[in-house]
Structure 1
Amino acid sequence: MRADRLLTIMMLLQNRGKLTVKELASEVEVSERTILRDMDSLSLAGIPVVSERGKNGGWRLLDNFRSKLSGLTKDEMTSLFLMPSDELLEDLGLDVLDVRQKLLAAIPNLYRNEAEAMGERIYIDTSTWRNSKEKSQALQKVQKALWENRKLSIEYQQPDGELKERLVEPLGLVAQGNKWYLVASREGNMRNYRVSRIQAVRLNDEYFERPEGFHLAAYWLQSKRDFIQSLPSYGVQVEMDPTIINRIMFTGKFVQVMDRQSPNENQWVPATLQFNDYQEAIQFVLGFSDKIKVISPEDLPNRIVSSAKAVINFYENRDE
């Protein structure tokens, strides 16, 4: 693309000092006539390119001029405007509009329109349809401890509601969806803490050294893989009425469809559904009444019948 070629020419001149039309044409694989037109375009865009005649002549940038893009391609530059969600940036105390305006001011006019267009055409929203965003007063203090390499004393609420006091060395913050997680070291072991569960936090006067070679993104990806592998798994082979297929495929939060086959002679769809445990499977199947037939495990239909009878008994005797 022409914008990429112009940017490449500007970087070549910045890095090599001076190049002839023939050398530039060879580098970007276009004709010398095209290079001359490109130099006019750069000049019109405000890039100070000048031509020197003679045996040692060629095109160069004016002394002391350096591009602020440092070799970024057009696609790489415009990708800077694909910012994370406004909510996450605001959580970190960043003014989203101010950040975008400063980025725009830092790039040449030649590419500004395309950068602005990226922001108008793609927007990233990490919130859910029913906003359940977790707020935490601890986030600012956690950030401060991160920047200053200071230990943190936290009161952390366990999943069962119990409060535990912990002394941790904060190493990073990760936004997973619209939730913030603190990655920290405690007694030499890596731990992940959901920030919204930090009920109290105090910056310790003690400082620490970050582990050499620690990379937050690499750690988090491995941590996610380990967590997923540790989750319980309960597979159920079923046949499904075709009228509920779309609903089940949309309900990915509660069930994972592992293997969906072609409809059988009755037009029902065989599939393997994955749950965390048998109780989730029972609740899910009951929710679809007579539209799901369980094939295996063999004991699951009896468990479903028992649960259904318990519900019937409860409501038949609710006034007693």
Structure 2
Amino acid sequence: MVNAVVARQLGIVHLLRNRASVPAPELASRYGVTERTIYRDMATLAAAGIPVQATPGKTGGYRLGPDTALDPLTIDSDHALRLYVLGFVEPDTAGPDRARAAGVSDTVQDVVRRLAQGIHFDTADWYWRDEGSGHLPVLRTAMLTGNVVDAAWRTKTGQQATALLKPYGAVWKAGEWHMVAARATGGPVERFRLNLVDRLQLTDLTFPYPEDFTVRTWWETEMEDYGKGDIPVTLHVAPAARDELLRLSLKSTSQIDEHDDDSLTIVLFVDRWEWLIPLVSSYGPDVTVTEPTELRAATAHRLRRTLAAYDDTDAGPPPDAAPLNDDSRLRSTHGRHPGA
């Protein structure tokens, strides 16, 4: 069930979309709260990027700017993030009784429910590049109307592929949009990075949404299975890298052993150890490979090549360097294939 604060804020936005201006006292009376609470609501909406404007004077109040971002049939990457921030597209926000009490029509509720079913935000990696959002208008329409799309995309090997796809939803992860879809000719559900899609066009073909399917559940299972295998990789993590390594999205099979000196031993079970080379190398002496020996040797080779690139006998003593205290290293390596 959606909490009262979110329901009230959703109701306020819906009311402002249909009124030129609404005074704060009227909003406070309508929702049974104080004017100070309404002021906080407006600050929250504005901070989330909703274009709330205050109009002065006796007939003044609050209104939405002309570039309102919450037309329920308009979703691009920026708008979708705003919806997420306010909690409007999570599945439990579609409680009909609470939403109806907040003044949200059944039509808008239905749109929100359908968006909640088809849009998932994986925020394990929180940085923003907004790639592939140019295809979102077509994808949005196909999701809402149940139309098959004619797609052309580039594979990871650079080859061109085409197919008719049934789009079940969209997922935002690490600044990239992914389309979750199945081929119209049959087969398993797949994910397609929108920044690799060259063509996405609506067709007249329609499809029924599969029963008992939710994009969020499918995606979480897909991410859990991605990269998981039977090859054990043992890492020794020094205290300096402890907090950062614990932020990694580990698999259910991963093992963590904490030591008295605050260091860690982490055991990962992966399908290929090669993708760990750039991650481990980025930590220098703070993360070392115990096994397999192949990964240990490959990491050492990479570090020696890096050292050779910086080797300068006339460079003098090393300068004092401040410790790395942000997540730039984690963001630049986590989840990245070595060739990416």
Q: Given the two structures, how large is their TM-score scaled by the length of structure 1?
A: 0.53
> Residue 198 in 1 paired to residue 200 in 2?
no
Question: Partner of 1:243: helix, strand, or coil?
Answer: helix
Larger Rg: 1
The aligned residue for residue 101 of structure 1 is 16
- In the TM superposition, 1:19-168 aligns within 5 A as 76-80=3-7, 99=14, 101-102=16-17, 108-111=30-33, 114=37, 117=40, 120=43, 124=85, 131-168=128-165
Instruction: Output the CA distance in 1 between the equivalents of 2:143 and 2:205.
Output: 10
Contact 1:259-1:271 at 8 Å conserved across structures: yes
Q: Deviations over 1:205-226 (max 9, x none)?
A: x332414x52552x54134314
Q: Deviations over 1:26-80 (max 9, x none)?
A: xxxxxxxxxxxxxxxxxxxxxxxxxxxxxxxxxxxxxxxxxxxxxx8xx633233
Instruction: Output the CA distance in 1 between the equivalents of 2:268 and 2:286.
Output: 17
Give the AA of the match of 2:220: K
* Pairs aligned (count): 225
Contact 1:151-1:168 at 8 Å conserved across structures: yes
Seen in structure 2, the aligned counterparts of structure 1 residues 241 and 100 have a Cα distance that, compared at 3 Å, is farther
Contact 1:77-1:115 at 8 Å conserved across structures: no
1:168: how far off?
Answer: 1.9
Seen in structure 2, the aligned counterparts of structure 1 residues 184 and 155 have a Cα distance that, compared at 3 Å, is same
- In the TM superposition, 1:213-252 aligns within 5 A as 214-217=211-214, 219-233=215-229, 235-249=232-246, 252=248
1:261: how far off?
Answer: 0.9
1:133: how far off?
Answer: 1.5
Question: Partner of 1:133: helix, strand, or coil?
Answer: coil
> Residue 286 in 1 paired to residue 284 in 2?
no
Instruction: Output the CA distance in 1 between the equivalents of 2:283 and 2:166.
Output: 48
Regions of 4+ moved over 6 Å: 103-107, 125-129, 253-257, 314-317
Instruction: Output the CA distance in 1 between the equivalents of 2:296 and 2:8.
Output: 53
Question: Partner of 2:234: helix, strand, or coil?
Answer: strand
Contact 1:240-1:268 at 8 Å conserved across structures: no
- Bigger relative contact order, structure 1 or 2, given CA contacts below 8 A and separation 6+? 2
Give the AA of the match of 1:141: V
Instruction: Output the CA distance in 1 between the equivalents of 2:147 and 2:263.
Output: 57
Question: Partner of 2:228: helix, strand, or coil?
Answer: coil
Q: Given the two structures, how large is their TM-score scaled by the length of structure 2?
A: 0.50
Percent sequence identity is: 12
Instruction: Output the CA distance in 1 between the equivalents of 2:279 and 2:167.
Output: 40
Contact 1:275-1:281 at 8 Å conserved across structures: no
Instruction: Output the CA distance in 1 between the equivalents of 2:197 and 2:28.
Output: 39
Contact 1:237-1:272 at 8 Å conserved across structures: yes
1:309: how far off?
Answer: 4.2
Question: Partner of 1:196: helix, strand, or coil?
Answer: helix
Question: Partner of 1:180: helix, strand, or coil?
Answer: strand
Give the AA of the match of 1:286: S
Seen in structure 2, the aligned counterparts of structure 1 residues 111 and 161 have a Cα distance that, compared at 3 Å, is farther
Question: Partner of 2:134: helix, strand, or coil?
Answer: coil
